Each structure stands twice: as structure tokens, then as C-alpha cells.
A = this chain, B = another copy of it.
């Protein structure tokens, strides 16, 4: 079982969905990732919060075995994001973004973190992702995420990051934005040229699909959910389950990667059933196990012969 270091945002989210509203709740890419990955292994957090960040959240992280040595507590205000979802929960609108303390974030990696074998560069400015990479001692595996803002405004930094990662984990919309191609297979081929990584594309309520440099493809449907309350953080939670499982197994063969996709999928299915990290705080391995069993029953095809006679 190997540790994971995550750099990303810890934030206050204000979210409105057709099913309700949650003002100023705990959010951020590193938050969702850490709360998922901690189910599988120990997690080290590199992030920044402001003086307004309540100690109850810090205690919650610590209670869940998340190492906060790399969490800077600054004088300013914590990063804030406000957004809303349409009836079709796949469509999201950002209403406000207040960077606040994020603007001064130096992304310094504590000495005790520098040998961490598994790294997740959660969605944050790619300059900061690069800065973290420069401070590490030969990690075993590096994964990264990004968002539309960096794809458009900081493409060069993003491409520098991509030369140095093993997995690039993005949403289908982000993949389409990078390539300007709606076809996911053609798009994936283009994106794979940007480095030596495997590409893992998240398709929201439709599952996920993996493309490797060796032209392997692996697709899974999503766990069918009846109550999607708030999709915020689903992608980060997917990454947390994915990398958490890989680190816990400490293996990187294709079969383990495929299983890790399923664990990411299942972990994310819990996150979207509540606002903020509500459904992740009391999530246990037992609950993940139960839903995994359901998922396997819902997707496992009994052996089928290609002989159609």
C-alpha cells in the first residue's frame, strides 16, 4: 500500500441544482479527490485555505487520515466557486469564481512528502502542477486533471505537464475542447500524441473510457443512479477512487488499471448522491464493496461466443 500526494484546490462551493441549493459548502478538486482516495490508502494534501476555513473541516480531513502538513493556512479568504446545473445535470454554468488565497499559493511540497510514490495533480493552474512536479523525487506514477480555463488560456503550461504524466484524466467535453473534434476515438488519438500517458476520459452518467499509447481501449458504463443530487466533484472523486485503488494495489498492469476504473466509477457514484462531500464522509469500504457487487451483476456479460450460427 503506497501513499498518494494530491495538489489541488480546497474551496467553498455554492451550488444550485434542480434538487436544491448548498451555499458555501466544502468543495475543491483536492478535497473530493482526497476524500475518495483515503478509502484506499493514506493521502497527503498540498493546498491552501484562508483564515475563514473552519477547524471542523480540518478535523474532518484529519479524522479521515488525510495528512495536512502540506496545507497552507493563509491570511486571506478561501477560494470560492459558485455554479448551477440545468435540468439535464450534465450541463453546468459557472456563476462566480473568487481566487482569493489561491493567487498567492506557492505549492511548496513539505520535505516529508517528496518521496511520495503516487501523485495526483488535481485541477489547478498547470504552473502550480509543474512546480509540484519539480519538487518531487522520482514518483512512481503521476496522474493529472485539468479544466476548460487552462486548456484555453494556458495551453503551453498544460502541454509541459502532459509530457511528464502517466495518466491524463479529463471529461469528454474537455477532450473535445482540446482537439476541436466531437469524435472521442479520433480525439483521443490526437491527445495521446501530447505525451507518453494513458488517457482516461470521464463521460459523466455514461461511464468512462481508457485509451493507451499501445492502442488498447477499455470502456465501462456508469453505475445507474436514481438520485443524482449534485454532480460537483464527481470527476475528482472518480480520480480518487481510481488512483486510490492503484496505490493500494501498487500495481500498474492493464487489468489492475481496468479494475481501478471500476472503483473510480463506484466511488464517484456515491459523491453525486449528495451535496459537497456529504456522501463521502461516511463512506466505507463495505459500502463500496456492496455497490461494486451490484455493478458487476449489471455489467458482466456471461461468456459469449463470436459464433453466431
Taking Cβ atoms with an 8 Å cutoff, the residues of A that contact B are 39-40, 87-89, 182-186, 189, 203, 205-207, 209, 217-222, 224-228, 245, 248, 255, 258-259, 262-263, 285, 288-290, 292-293, 296, 298-302, 304, 306-309
- Does B221 lie within 8 Å of A220, measured CB to CB? yes
- B residues near A262, Cβ cutoff 8 Å: 301, 304
Are B185 and A209 in contact (CB-based, < 8 A)? no
- Quick one: copies of this chain in the complex? 2
The contact sample of 11 A-B pairs, CB cut-off 8 A, is A89-B182, A183-B225, A183-B228, A209-B221, A217-B224, A219-B299, A285-B308, A289-B307, A289-B308, A290-B306, A296-B301
Cross-chain contact A259 with B301 (CB below 8 angstroms): yes
- CB-nearest residue of chain B relative to A87? B182
A292 touches B306 (CB 8 A): yes
Interchain CB contact under 8 A, A258 and B302: yes
A301 to B299 Cα, complex, angstroms = 9
Q: Could you tell me the distance between the alpha carbons of A104 and B146 in the complex, rounded to whole angstroms?
A: 58
Known: A183-B226, A259-B304, A289-B306. 14 other contacts (CB 8 A): A183-B225, A183-B228, A189-B226, A207-B207, A220-B299, A221-B221, A245-B308, A255-B302, A259-B302, A263-B308, A289-B307, A293-B306, A296-B306, A299-B301
Contact between chains at B285 and A220 (CB < 8 Å): no
Instruction: Give A299 to B209 CA distance when docked, in angstroms.
Output: 9
- Whether A40 lies near B308 (C-beta < 8 A) is yes
A265 to B289 CA separation, bound complex (whole angstroms): 29
Query: Is the pair A292, B304 in contact by a Cβ cutoff of 8 Å?
Result: yes
Which B residues are CB-close (under 8 A) to A306? 289-290, 292-293, 296
Inter-chain contacts of A222 with B (CB < 8 A): 219
Residues of B within 8 A of A224 (CB): 184-185, 209, 217, 219
In angstroms, how far is the closest chain B Cβ from the Cβ of A247? Answer: 12
Residue numbers in B under 8 Å from A298 (CB-CB): 217-219
> Complex formed: what's the CA distance from A185 to B182 in Å?
27
Chain B residue at minimum C-beta to C-beta distance from A245: B308
Residue numbers in B under 8 Å from A285 (CB-CB): 308-309
Q: How far is the CA of A245 from the CA of B293 in the complex (A)?
A: 28
B182 touches A258 (CB 8 A): no
Collect the chain B residues with CB atoms within 8 Å of residue A209's CB: 221, 224
* Chain B contacts for A207, CB-based, 8 A: 206-207, 221
